[in-house]
Structure 1
Amino acid sequence: MRTSRISQETTKLVLAAAAARRSTRSSVSRLDVEDAVPPPKRQKRERTPRTPMKTSPGRSVAVKKEIDESITTSPVLDHRRVRKPARQVKNEENGEVEIHAPNDWKEVYAAVKEMRLTGPAQNAAVDTMGCERLAEKDASPKVRRYQTLTALMLSSQTKDTTNALAMKRLYTELPPHKEGAPGGLNLENILAVDPKLLNELIWAVGFHNNKTKYIKAAAEILRDNWGGDIPDTIEGLVSLPGVGPKMAHLCLSVAWGRTEGIGVDVHVHRITNLWGWHKTKGPEETRLALQAWLPQELWHEINWLLVGFGQTVCLSVGRKCGECDLGLKGLCKSAERAKVNIGRKTKEERIVTDGSGREVLEKRESVKVERVMGDMTVNADA
């Protein structure tokens, strides 16, 4: 007589339980129900074979295999410089407020100076055509001072190259104030020249119409109030029409050899704000901010330094961050990282031996590629 599978399993459970009761506890350990009953056998499901994919003659089917691989990557180092701008700090001992300089200003200043002297920022227009270099060398000190003042008045909103051309025309085309007197740029000839002719001679500079009026009016003030010479104080210089604080400080430093302030133009204002030294709205505010902490022995040099740097590397449009050491060293917070990563093109010269055994000088241009992680520079060639 056939019995069902459930009845057979029940019988096995009863027999196993009876055997467990007959055995002593010391000799046989208790069995769990799951240990007494073997697990049911799993029935394998027959899989129907798949029909092969039909393809047209001459056509192959590409099967793409995807392999999952665990890729271990090391964490990217992110050593960021802690930059602190110029700030006011209260002295706990005496309670006075002190101005602390930006923490990395010396390193930035030294790097820019090296670029101006031997790097990509050398030979700027200001080095040969700046206002302090446009006065005639063979003129008297009094005439040279007036020529320096005139060059500064023409330089506003004007490139150094254009300003130098306008000054050259004044030296060569300005007629003498009387017969037998020398022509060229001096106070007497400016007083006598017709405003229309003066305007034609300086037409290339920015706002030449206004500058013509300023130069003529200033010449009369110098004749009547200053004995034909230029003022030797900041207050006297800024009292002249068309002369602002920047021109006054530069003129006093160049013409009289006294530096009482920083000449801040658009380059100095723009670049120092890009570095994060301060947040100022105009050149005059920048001048006061710099003078609060920059050593006075650098007040005259910083104008030459940053004007040339702004003319060659840190341009107002299209900055050359890939050629700037500040970007490569992580010293400029405004550096364009894409340009920095490409690197700076450097020209190298080396002496090699050719096939005939002669030593020749070979010039090759290489590209120095550097990766910048955060503010830490890593040389890819190392």
Structure 2
Amino acid sequence: MRETSKHRKRKYIAVDVDEVEVRSKYFKKDDRTIDLSQETKIKNGSQSDHGVNIDWIKGLKPIEYFEWIESRTCDDPRTWRRPITKEEMKNESGAEIPESFLPIYNRVRLMRSKVNTPVDAMGCSMIPVLVSDKCGIPSEKVDPKNFRLQFLIGTMLSAQTRDERMAQAALNITEYCLNTLKIAEGITLKGLLEIDESILANLIRCVSFYTRKANFIKRTAQLLVDSFGSDIPCDIDGIMSLPGVGPKMGYLTLQKGWGLIAGICVDVHVHRLCKMWNWVDPIKCKTAEHTRKELQIWLPHSLWYEINTVLVGFGQLICMARGKRCDLCLVNDICNARNLNLIKSSKFHQMENKEDMEEVCLHWLDTISNGITTRRHKKK
């Protein structure tokens, strides 16, 4: 694959390299613990196909609920430092796992553990957290039902939109609910039903297709009241019955809303990288949905949640569709799409000690990501 931007000069910004952990106060650990075995003790109520008891989850208090979601969908970069072993690469289907997957994926995870990317700070999974923090809404005051709704709205806003703009749109709606509608919880079903569609469209003008999305949100709010007990659906068919919600949004909402890992979220980065590394058939997988279905045949279920966050961040900052950083990538010796000219021009390529080169590359990746974060905050 030819590098189209090899002549582009990049300005490096030197900053202090400190390990930054992006964590939510919602998932802050305290002395209280949850007996997760309660889930299996409940005999009555709705039980999903993946062992998640929905009635039990609905009864959790805020802190318990957020700890439960964190236990199912951990986004802690520190967990990516530990290599995945061959023994862990087991799938229920017995399908063959691509030979290149584990060596490439382990190195990508290592790089992601040191890099702060837009999806980590402002991706869909962070929207309710960021907005509530910005508006001064304490975690113990966040109703899990409202959190699930806010997450759903965030995913609907995110379609074909940069994370920063999606976050701003969600903040605009929240501030309108707080200041104009006087709803202390921020975005709620009551608030969404009260907002006039034209006002809602104006609040989210920063995202793409804002008039269409405003209509989708209004219709969704009414559907949730009429058909889903004023809560978000707990299965993929229900989620995808909502206007404007596709598989990627649907599976992500189930993951972060109910802790239900029913499918893999595949966006443009995951789709592009999986085809590039031949983890899926690049000819047959013409869409992200094709890639999702093929991945789910062989990828161990334990990786179904994390692979989206890991690969999206990698695709945002290191292996972009244009302007790849093969010179800094730890996969550049085994990647079938590496730019050899870019690698040879790198001063790291001349280092004989592989461990030293890895340490220097990780240092630079950390520096670049922190520099980007610093510039982003200054713009705001």
* TM-score calculated relative to the size of structure 2: 0.62
Does 2:237 correspond to 1:235?
yes
- Total equivalences in the alignment: 250
1:177/1:192 contact within 8 Å kept = no
Could you say which residue in structure 2 is the equivalent of 1:111?
107
* Contact kept in structure 2, 1:183 and 1:189, CA below 8 Å: no
Q: Does the aligned pair in 2 maintain the 1:175–1:193 contact within 8 Å?
A: no
**Is residue 143 of structure 1 aligned with residue 143 of structure 2?**
no
Q: Could you say what secondary structure the match of 1:321 adopts? A: coil
| 1:134-213 alignment runs, 5 A limit | 134-135=127-128, 136=132, 137=139, 138-174=141-177, 181-182=183-184, 184-213=186-215
Consecutive unaligned residues of structure 2, counting only runs of 5 or more, are 1-92, 133-138, 358-380
1:1-16 equivalent positions in 2, closer than 5 A: none
Query: Which moved further from structure 2: 169-178 or 245-254?
Result: 169-178
Match for 1:368: what amino acid? Answer: F
Higher RCO (C-alpha under 8 Å, 6+ residues apart): 2
Larger radius of gyration: 1
How big is the shift at 1:100? 1.3
Indicate yes or no: 2:142 matched with 1:131: no
CA distance in 2, matches of 1:253, 1:370: 44
Distance 1:289 1:182 in 2: 44
- Determine which structure has the larger helix proportion and give its number: 2
Q: Which residue of 2 aligns with 1:89?
A: none
Q: Is the 8 A contact 1:166 1:205 kept in 2?
A: yes
Contact 1:126 1:308 (8 Å CA) reproduced: yes
**1:219 matches 2:221:** yes
State the one-letter code of the partner of 2:348. K
The 4+ residue runs of structure 1 with deviation greater than 3 A are: 174-178, 180-183
CA contact (8 A) 1:149 1:251 kept: yes
Matched to 2:193, the amino acid is L
Q: Residues 102 and 219 (structure 1 numbering): CA distance in 2 closer, same or farther, change over 3 Å? A: same
Q: 1:318 to 1:177 in 2, by over 3 A?
A: same
What's the CA shift for 1:340? 1.5
Does the residue aligned with 1:305 lie in a helix, a strand or coil? helix
Check 1:233–1:176 CA distance in 2 against 1; reply closer, same or farther (3 A cut). Answer: farther
Which position in structure 2 is the counterpart of 1:286?
A: 291
CA contact (8 A) 1:153 1:242 kept: yes
**In 2: Cα distance, 1:275 partner to 1:340 partner:** 18
Look up the match of 1:252: 254
Question: Cα deviations across residues 152-205 of structure 1 (Å, max 9, x unaligned)?
Answer: 001110111111111111111236786x64373111111110111101111111
- Matches of 1:227 and 1:255, distance apart in 2: 15
Give the secondary structure class of the aligned counterpart of 2:331.
Answer: helix
Contact 2:112 2:310 survives alignment (8 Å): yes
CA distance in 1, matches of 2:173, 2:265: 25
1:275 CA drift (Å): 1.1
Q: 1:175 to 1:196 in 2, by over 3 A?
A: farther
* 1:312-367 CA-partner distances (Å, limit 9, x unpaired): 1111221111111111xx22111111111122xxxxxxxxxxxxxxxxxxxxxxx3
Give the superposition deviation at 1:98. 5.8
- Structure 1 CA distance for aligned equivalents of residues 195 and 118 of structure 2: 30
Instruction: Give the whole-Å Cα distance in 1 for the aligned partners of 2:178 and 2:303.
Output: 40
**Residues 216 and 176 of structure 1: CA distance in aligned 2, closer, same or farther (over 3 Å):** farther
The answer as to 2:348 corresponding to 1:368 is yes
CA distance in 2, matches of 1:174, 1:158: 23
Kindly provide the amino acid, as one letter, of the partner of residue 142 in structure 2.
Answer: A
Partner of 1:312: 317
CA distance in 1, matches of 2:259, 2:94: 29
In the alignment, is the contact (CA less than 8 A) between 1:342 and 1:370 conserved in 2? no
Amino acid at match of 2:252: L
Contact 2:192 2:218 in 1 (8 A): yes
In 1: Cα distance, 2:235 partner to 2:309 partner: 21
Which protein is richer in strand relative to its size? Answer: 1
Q: Percent identity?
A: 38
2:95 counterpart SS class: strand
Per-residue CA deviations over 1:72-92 (Å, capped at 9, x if unaligned) read: xxxxxxxxxxxxxxxxxxxxx
Unpaired segments ≥5 residues, structure 1: 1-96, 344-366
* Distance in 2 between residues matched to 1:371 and 1:332, nearest whole Å: 19
Task: Indicate the RMSD between aligned Cα atoms, in angstroms.
Answer: 2.3
User: Retained in 2: the 8 A contact 1:126–1:304?
Assistant: yes
Q: Distance in 2 between matches of 1:287 and 1:342?
A: 36
